[in-house]
Amino acid sequence: MNVALQDLGSNMAEYKRAMFQDDEAADTAGDGSISPDSVEVGFRKSDGPLLSRLGSRTQLKLVLCAVSLFVVLLLLLSSVIAMGIQYSKDPSHTTCLTEACIIVAGKILEALDREINPCDDFYQYACGGWIKRNPLPDGRSKWSTFNSIWDQNQAIMKHLLENATFNSSSEAERKTQRYYLSCLKEQKIEELGSQPLMELIEKIGGWNITGPWNQSNFMEVLKLVSGTYRASPFFTVFVGADSKSSNSNIIQLDQSGLFLPSRDYYLNKTANEKVLAAYLDYMVELGMLLGGARASTEEQMQQVLDLETELANLTVPQDERRDDEKIYHKLNIAGLQVLAPAIDWLDFISYFLSPLELTEAEPVVVYGREYLQQVSQLINNTDKSVLNNYMIWNLVQKTASSLDQRFEAAQEKLLETLYGTKKSCTPRWQTCISNTDDTLGFALGALFVKATFDRHSKEIAEDMIAEIRTAFEESLDHLDWMDEKTKQAAKEKADSIYDMIGFPEFILDDKELDDVYDGYEVSEDSFFQNMLNFYNFSARFMADQLRKPPNRDQWSMTPQTVNAYYLPTKNGIVFPAGILQAPFYAHNHPKALNFGGIGVVMGHELTHAFDDQGREYDKEGNLRPWWQNSSLEAFKNRTACMTEQYNKYLVNGEHVNGKQTLGENIADNGGLKAAYNAYKVWLKKNGEEKRLPSVDLTSHQLFFLGFAQVWCSVRTPESSHEGLVTDPHSPDKFRVIGTLSNSRDFVEHFGCPVGSLMNPGKHCEVW
């Protein structure tokens, strides 16, 4: 089946998955943790009747947008009339006067800050107007073109699920509606209060914070919390393709167990004093809502926070985990028992993957060997009551957002400190759309695709990928630092990259879609139980994967997602339907914008196959050395230039981590170059494009502007800090400035003098 259900028991589902855009953090509902959820989704304009039936608030936004657009059109048309006289005297300059060209020209001009010299700060030039017109909405930590599309996309999904005439022939789609409606039943959720979670805690054996607990059942609690309810105290376990034998699945373990987004929040206490205080307040408040007395709850939650801080100290930073060859360790369960004896591993993993029968000879890949060894010692040296409190806390924070308003209000206070968000005014339906997308995303995707997606977009995308792949492969011939043997292997790998576009075909087949969610029970009357049922269902799904070979057509992103990714063990790239739309792509936009938008996305994902991590995998998706030493040394020298470059960039006085962001920076730079080279080939075949009205830019300049305006965004200082310590991508501003200042083509077409910000004289180039 071509599916990887979201959150299949592990937040490590995205491990080794290089994505185009970071997941948004505090802007949507998730499963209760503060780690970012995958929420960037979009839509294709659909027929009038669909939009006319959206909510009144959405209608008002659309009316205001329409009025603004009308004013822009009037201004542009007056300019066009004047320009028409001028250009008629010069046939070499022709202007595109279609409705689509006029509209996109208006959007481009609104986003620009024409008082800025492009060579002084191209991001401010491209996005200054957009930033002025887009103040950060209440309840948001970041606002970008991605978020804007997602809001509109949510309105479409809301209409589809609330349609009074909803009558799907697919049981999976009907489950999706039932799940969504159960989330909307706030009165029922308020009536139940904390009871569902209190009963669950009692079922597991109790919690010292709220009442009696069983002091002798450490392993039983660990198995239930991790195996049945998919929390990840201490470590995370998941099933996935073996990096060194990509045609088989294997059990994998990695470090986990921190609630805050990064170890930095625990260890850099001076800089994060307010966050740590807010987190402790949140822990205490939830403990009290579940029946704990204030004094004892404060004391015990401080002990839990101290334990998390010790785990943070053992956790290896992201930027030290970029060499997959070094962190990959294969052993068996018997070896794991010797490594970390505090856990009965055969008992734990057998329960985790029940009903599979396992022995001590079962192979396991461990990505944090020293971490697990030290965690085992920590468990042995920690009081049992603290261990129990910590494990149950992992369950509480994972499930609390599915309870009544008191729990949501407690989380909002923490989010305000952590991400700088003000009190959220997010309608309940938006929260429920996000929850439904997280749980039944492919069934929801089936509804979305059938309502919005133009299959012709898939054909065009396939052609563009082929053009960009060719451009990338041809550029390899011009590399003077790579030997011929490695160069040939690189071409073969690029040629072998497997692309998946739009959506997995199975979602449009009712039987196949129903089979995927078969066994997942959903009731319209019990939102909390629906969530628990999904955790249990996803556990069975994961166990079922171990004895099967990996499916090359399997997706780990839903069709409605506005993002893309590269998976090295498959040597595959995925472009969901959500990203095949403006501003990334529109069939009636100039090719310069399409190549600068979706074209760069395609080049970006393709280049991930050759970044500092992707380059370690061969064309079959296996982790093995295939580079000659001379080329490898040259590669490292070139990437060192890029690391140094991005290290110098500052956000609110904090440096970007050039090592942590290296892979994405390589992909940004290589993707831009491949897309631009492909666009030059297109121009050579088809000739110069018509200019956009009032946009005094050549086709080449428009390409670079189209790339830059994708990244227009605003963000709170707190969210910016979180991004610097957790995100493998550079901040949006420096994804533009860093990439374009390395592009000799950009410098040439904008005439930037040496020494300017956009032409520093030294250009870091890998691919």
Answer whether CATH 3.30.420.10 is correct for domain 196-402: no
Catalytic residue among 362, 668, 689, 732: 668
Residues 134, 138, 140, CA angle at the centre, nearest 5°? 80
Q: What letter would DSSP give residue 617?
A: B
Retrieve residue 697's tokens. Answer: 């830019």
Q: What is the mean pLDDT of the chain?
A: 89
Contacts of residue 293, defined as CB under 8 A and 6 or more positions apart, other chains included, come to: none
Contacts of residue 255, defined as CB under 8 A and 6 or more positions apart, other chains included, come to: 235, 236, 314, 315, 316, 367, 368, 371, 372
Whether residue 563 contacts residue 20, with contact meaning beta carbons closer than 8 Å, is answered with: yes
Contacts of residue 472, defined as CB under 8 A and 6 or more positions apart, other chains included, come to: 494, 603, 606, 607, 670, 674, 677, 767
Q: Three-state DSSP class for 95? A: strand
Question: pTM for the full model?
Answer: 0.88
Whether residue 451 contacts residue 156, with contact meaning beta carbons closer than 8 Å, is answered with: yes
In terms of Cα–Cα distance, which of 309, 262, 313, 270 is closest to 728? 262
Retrieve residue 618's tokens. Answer: 């061969």
Whether residue 69 contacts residue 106, with contact meaning beta carbons closer than 8 Å, is answered with: yes
245: β partners: 242
Residue 605 among the catalytic residues = yes
Cα first-last separation, the chain: 36
Q: In 134-251, which ranges are continuous DSSP H helix? A: 145-162, 171-184, 186-192, 195-204, 218-223
pLDDT in the model for residue 434? 94
Catalytic residue among 121, 605, 689, 732: 605
What is the residue type of 310?
Answer: E
Low-confidence stretches of the chain (pLDDT beneath 50): 1-15, 25-92
Retrieve residue 249's tokens. Answer: 């699945």
Whether residue 368 contacts residue 232, with contact meaning beta carbons closer than 8 Å, is answered with: no
**φ and ψ at 565, to 5 degrees?**
-155, 160
Q: Where are the domains of the chain?
A: 196-402
498: β partners: 572
654: β partners: 651
Contacts of residue 479, defined as CB under 8 A and 6 or more positions apart, other chains included, come to: 487, 767
In terms of Cα–Cα distance, which of 121, 123, 65, 193 is closest to 714? 123
154: β partners: none
Q: What is the CA radius of gyration of the chain?
A: 26
What is the residue type of 578?
Answer: G
Per-residue H/E/C for 111-128: HCCCCCCCCCCHHHHHHH
pLDDT in the model for residue 688? 92
Retrieve residue 540's tokens. Answer: 């069975």
